[in-house]
Amino acid sequence: MAASAHDFAFQTIDGAPLPLTTFKDKVVLVVNTASKCGLTPQYEGLEKLYSDYRDKGLVVLGVPCNQFAGQEPGDEAEIKDFCETRFSVDFPLTSKVDVKGDGVHPFYKWAEGQLGEPAVPVWNFHKILIGKDGQAIGAFGPRTEPEAAEITGAIEAAL
């Protein structure tokens, strides 16, 4: 049984290993993303959060997912290009994964075990906050804007 988020790994959008231990002693906001969603403009707020707080120890981790109305149909190169050219995304992105169902990435299964139902993504741009120690702190629904007081407050408290 995994003790913390640091026990998991993703792949970067470029295909390299991305163990979450990379972010030990950082606060991580894990967000499942999609390029063709009505909430896609949240990339702007996520990038602003990242630029405002990264020097204090925040990492925003974008996790592309195509499980909600097929709104992330592209391959990794297309997703990366879209994020960089349309939204100047500078925060790390993973390769595309499942965030629910039979093929769920183990991180999301663990987060559900930590936080219960609020950790299960119901749509794109669901957010899970991980503390410096790798423990799940909270989950925020897709419609909660990245710069909402409840998110920035939780981040500041965790930093």
Cα–Cα distance for residue pair 46/34, rounded to 1 Å: 13
- The yes-or-no answer on residue 83 being catalytic is no
Cα–Cα distance for residue pair 93/59, rounded to 1 Å: 11
Is residue 2 within 8 Å of residue 112, measured between CB atoms?
no
Catalytic-labelled residue, pool 2, 9, 37, 115: 37
Spell out the SS3 assignment of 47-64.
HHHHHHHHHHCEEEEEEE
Catalytic residues: 37
